[in-house]
Amino acid sequence: MSRLIFNAFVMNTPSHLSTGMWRIPGDTSHRHDSLSHWTELAALLERGRFDALFMADTYGLSDVYGGSADAALRGAVQVPLHDPLLVVSAMANATRNLCFGVTCSTSYEAPFALARRFSTLDHLTQGRIGWNIVTSASDSAARNFGLEQQRDHASRYERAEEFLDVCYKLWEGSWEDGALLHDTERGVYVDPARVHRIGHRGAHFSVDGPHLVEPSPQRTPLLYQAGASAQGRAFASRHAECVFVGAPSKQALKRTVDKLRSAFSDAGRDPLSVPIIAEHTVITAPDSARAHEKHDAYKRVASEEGALVLMSGWTGIDLSQLEPDAPFEHRESHAIQSAVEAMSAADPGRVWSIAEIARWGTIGGLSPVTVGGPGEVADALQEWVADTGIDGFNLSYAAMDESFRDFVELIVPELQARGVYQREYAAGTFREKLFAGGARLSAPHPATAYRLS
Amino acid sequence: MSRLIFNAFVMNTPSHLSTGMWRIPGDTSHRHDSLSHWTELAALLERGRFDALFMADTYGLSDVYGGSADAALRGAVQVPLHDPLLVVSAMANATRNLCFGVTCSTSYEAPFALARRFSTLDHLTQGRIGWNIVTSASDSAARNFGLEQQRDHASRYERAEEFLDVCYKLWEGSWEDGALLHDTERGVYVDPARVHRIGHRGAHFSVDGPHLVEPSPQRTPLLYQAGASAQGRAFASRHAECVFVGAPSKQALKRTVDKLRSAFSDAGRDPLSVPIIAEHTVITAPDSARAHEKHDAYKRVASEEGALVLMSGWTGIDLSQLEPDAPFEHRESHAIQSAVEAMSAADPGRVWSIAEIARWGTIGGLSPVTVGGPGEVADALQEWVADTGIDGFNLSYAAMDESFRDFVELIVPELQARGVYQREYAAGTFREKLFAGGARLSAPHPATAYRLS
């Protein structure tokens, strides 16, 4: 598509990725416990023609740094963390077109219950709901659900595959189109011949069905996925309609995008048909100087310790045990590696210290940060697109809701003038607003194999 | 208390207990898939000073009757059935005082996730949330969650006890009051010394904690429970702050109330301190004649087959296999037994047929139905209170939303004039609106044993 996709990337917590920014005067992120916080944010984003509010989630605390959750709690590093699905109906009622992408894990929910939740929201929002599928990757979450530690990577994905099979059977294969008649004359609400048990028996789940909810506008919610590993990419290539990626440099991002496009091709899909949306943070003001002043002010408040707490959680390495000037060493395929790679690429041969990485990660976590006036930011975003092949951005905020307000007021008009940002929403569901097709998934998506009508 | 408690009893489905009534002209129950249905209903109930919207739920279809779900589907007998929790935030945003009691099962949810959901909603609603604790009692639900059939009665309650222990530890014993500082000066959001892991290790659950949500207005949501069995009463006597009961005759209801009050006494609680709320259906009009005309019109539409579908599900007996004129025999302690008992008491020695029971259950399920003008209805409700010792009513509807509109316009002013219906809401949380005490549970409720501060 020619226009770019923009989501607001948030979590039901203070200072999602720019840790410590809840301290900045006027920051409203602590108000995530109130309905008006969400309805006002949703209205602002709809005014700015954002595609969606995209909500991260997890079920555990960041407790690798220092061997406890103390630093996470002190700095409010993704804690308190409230449920994301429960704020959707209030926001949907305050908007008409904004869509909602919500992260839910296949590791800690029951597919029958999760499928009903998304079907319920797809009805209530008239098709404005998406699911960001994650398998979760923290031991602290596993320990809240009866496990000593998280399942290994391979078995998490195996479970996720079966989880989606169950959901597809419920969403696509249980109720035929036209099953719901609401025939007051004959007294037939549902035609039982068109509703089917799914009789799923698998290694992880046993689910009889039928689904309790009649077909919703999209049936299957729009499917987002964010898997960076080889297994994650394979999963995405089968299931994802949009992929969410994070990489702090153009080189790293382009590598990820290229690998994903290849995976789509290998799976028999048009590699360009799946939008790839990259995490990004924008700090802007009416002119460049003021944008940089704002960035400097943010940096004075944002927490380096908070960044290390997040990165310790992401890598599984307790960064508090290393001296600030110790060199950071690559290990396995953790998120942080791509950060270090990106920094290395920017300054070849240089070894980065823990302290430098911490400073680097305080705003927007590991996402790239673009600072500048409207023209500069628009240039930069378009360059990211041109240089990496991405289709849009998940914008994380530095200050709530200042970052989104600034973007709506300053950047959106600039991008609209350049013809790359939607001026009006397309009609219909989340899927229809993003793609030319209909409200439902199309073949050869695996979900469609379960259809009966 | 001198005033009576009134909840609206609904389910996220068409024609909850008066099956087939979705066929009546103007019935809006099929609009349960839309946000405006819920926000308009909530606003109506708040205008009528209802205490709460009380939502039933289950995870399975009624598939005992005829050995399949066909009749349930045809007649929309509690199907389609959408998630109840997800409509709350939209309704909360449309009201200021109406409270929400939502049914969730301890058999099919994970306590860590459920505790976070209720804490999230307690924050968003500013304390207007309650949990109707059920253990679920249907094989069809069990088969959607990996079981061949439901757990036996005793082990369901054993699991429920441990489930509540986990929730109490998370809600009451994980975060001390004052743990959340939001100290922008010192950069301390949460004092880690006042947040504690729960380290729960039990027969059913293993949950590390800490809770992800800071203390909400009520901490533990207001606890409703609806257990009619001896084990259910014992559970209620320990945990319930309000009890929801259903019995179709005064004799049967009084027996239930007396048994509950004894159970509260045995548990060391003031037997009158726990409100007992009874299911009831009111059909009214400006005068008696028109109310009876309305009732007759409803009876012509409401479905006898639907009533048998519900009762087959409740009893586990396939009533389609019995001739309509066959006598209904008592079995075990199912809901239907109390119905038959009540009918027997009304006409001693008489044996009721399946067909008669079906006709009897078409409006309001097994709840008593009061038909009349405002004065008659108010008299009748007050007599139910005087004769049985209940404290209020869960009003099921015959027609949506006509039944609630009629009640708000005709019965509420009559009851207010008699001084037994609140004219204004009390301030504060659900708990404060019902009881003289504070927003939090008081000793000796078992949840309070887990408190640290």
Q: Is the dihedral of CA B423, B427, B433, B437 positive or negative?
A: negative
Q: Which of A35-49, A83-97, A247-261, B327-341 has the lowest mean pLDDT?
A: B327-341
Whether residue B429 has pLDDT greater than 60: yes
pLDDT value, residue B361: 84
**Does A145 contact chain B (CB < 8 Å)?**
yes
pLDDT value, residue B358: 84
Inter-chain contact B124–A59, Cβ cutoff 8 Å?
no
Whether residue A131 has pLDDT greater than 90: yes
Q: Which is higher by pLDDT, B141 or B217?
A: B217
pLDDT value, residue A13: 98
Any idea where the domains of chain A sit in the sequence? 5-175+218-302+367-450
Q: How many helices and strands in chain B, by DSSP H and E?
A: 16, 13
Q: Which residues in chain A have Cβ-Cβ distances shorter than 8 Å to B400?
A: none
Q: Tell me the pLDDT band of B343, cut-offs 50, 70 and 90.
A: low
pLDDT value, residue A330: 63
pLDDT value, residue A343: 65
Whether residue A263 has pLDDT greater than 90: yes
Whether residue A34 has pLDDT greater than 60: yes
Inter-chain contact B69–A303, Cβ cutoff 8 Å?
no
**Does B80 contact chain A (CB < 8 Å)?**
yes
pLDDT value, residue A413: 98
Q: Which tens digit of pLDDT belongs to each residue from A348-388?
A: 677 778 888 888 888 998 889 999 999 999 999 999 999 99
Angle (nearest 5°) at CA A291 between A360 and A280: 50
Q: Tell me the pLDDT band of B1, cut-offs 50, 70 and 90.
A: low
**Residue B174 and residue B194: Cα distance in Å, rounded?**
8
pLDDT value, residue B197: 96
Residue of A nearest to B105 (CA): A113
Partner B, chain A 83-112, Cβ-Cβ below 8 Å: 83, 85-90, 92-94, 108-110, 112
Partner B, chain A 296-325, Cβ-Cβ below 8 Å: 303
Report the gap between the CA of B147 and the closest CA in chain A (Å).
7
Which one, of A343, A341, A347, lies nearest residue A360 by Cα?
A343
Q: What's the CATH class of domain A5-175+218-302+367-450?
A: alpha beta
Q: Which residues in chain A have Cβ-Cβ distances shorter than 8 Å to B113?
A: 59, 108-109, 145
pLDDT value, residue A341: 65
* Residue/partner pairs of A331-337 with CB below 8 Å, 24 or more apart: A333/A228, A333/A229, A335/A228, A335/A246, A335/A311, A335/A366, A336/A311, A336/A366
Q: Which tens digit of pLDDT belongs to each residue from A300-321?
A: 999 999 999 998 888 888 999 9
pLDDT value, residue A332: 55
Report the gap between the CA of B142 and the closest CA in chain A (Å).
9
Q: Which of the residues B73, B121, B143, B214 would you substitute to probe the A interface, choosing the one with the greatest number of A C-beta atoms within 10 Å?
A: B73
Q: Tell me the pLDDT band of B387, cut-offs 50, 70 and 90.
A: very high
Inter-chain contact A184–B146, Cβ cutoff 8 Å?
no
Whether residue B334 has pLDDT greater than 70: no
Which one, of B253, B241, B245, B251, lies nearest residue B227 by Cα?
B245
**DSSP annotation of B208:** -
Inter-chain contact B210–A69, Cβ cutoff 8 Å?
yes
pLDDT value, residue B453: 63
Inter-chain contact B192–A61, Cβ cutoff 8 Å?
no
Distances (CA, A) of A26 to A21, B182, B351: 10, 13, 73
**Residue A82 and residue A399: Cα distance in Å, rounded?**
19
Contact B106, B202 (CB under 8 A): no
ipTM for this prediction: 0.97
pLDDT value, residue B220: 98
Residue of B nearest to A303 (CA): B187
Inter-chain contact A213–B108, Cβ cutoff 8 Å?
no
Distances (CA, A) of A123 to A117, A212, A442: 10, 13, 20
Q: What is the mean pLDDT of residues A24-33?
A: 97
pLDDT value, residue B150: 75
Q: What is the dihedral of CA A87, A92, A95, A100, to 10 degrees?
A: 80
Residue of A nearest to B86 (CA): A86
Q: Which tens digit of pLDDT belongs to each residue from A171-230?
A: 999 999 999 999 999 999 999 999 999 999 999 999 999 999 999 999 999 999 987 788
Q: What is the mean pLDDT of residues A123-143?
A: 91
Report the gap between the CA of A375 and the closest CA in chain B (Å).
34
Phi, psi of B412 (to 5 degrees): -60, -50
Q: Which residues in chain A have Cβ-Cβ distances shorter than 8 Å to B203?
A: none
Partner B, chain A 204-223, Cβ-Cβ below 8 Å: 205-210, 212-214, 216
Distances (CA, A) of B161 to B113, B198, B223: 17, 16, 13
Report the gap between the CA of B257 and the closest CA in chain A (Å).
34
pLDDT value, residue A357: 81
Inter-chain contact A90–B90, Cβ cutoff 8 Å?
yes
pLDDT value, residue B32: 98
Amino acid letter for position B117 = R
pLDDT value, residue A144: 93
**Residue A164 and residue A167: Cα distance in Å, rounded?**
5
If you average pLDDT over every residue of chain A, what do you get? 93
Whether residue A129 has pLDDT greater than 90: yes
Region of B158 on the Ramachandran plot (φ > 0 left; ψ -120 to 50 alpha; else beta): alpha
pLDDT value, residue A150: 75
Q: Which tens digit of pLDDT belongs to each residue from B354-386?
A: 888 888 888 998 889 999 999 999 999 999 999
Whether residue B332 has pLDDT greater than 70: no
Which one, of B258, B227, B203, B43, lies nearest residue B132 by Cα?
B227
Beta strand B206-207 pairing with B200-201: antiparallel
Q: Which tens digit of pLDDT belongs to each residue from B119-145?
A: 999 999 999 999 999 987 778 888 999
Beta strand B188-190 pairing with B180-183: antiparallel
Q: What is the dihedral of CA A429, A431, A437, A439, to 10 degrees?
A: -50
Q: Tell me the pLDDT band of B158, cut-offs 50, 70 and 90.
A: very high
Whether residue A5 has pLDDT greater than 60: yes
Helix (H, G, I), strand (E, B) or coil at A336: helix
Q: Which tens digit of pLDDT belongs to each residue from A417-453?
A: 999 999 999 999 999 999 989 999 998 899 999 998 6
Q: Among residues of chain A, what percentage have pLDDT more than 90?
A: 79
Whether residue B335 has pLDDT greater than 80: no
The residue count of chain B comes to: 453
Phi, psi of B393 (to 5 degrees): -135, 140
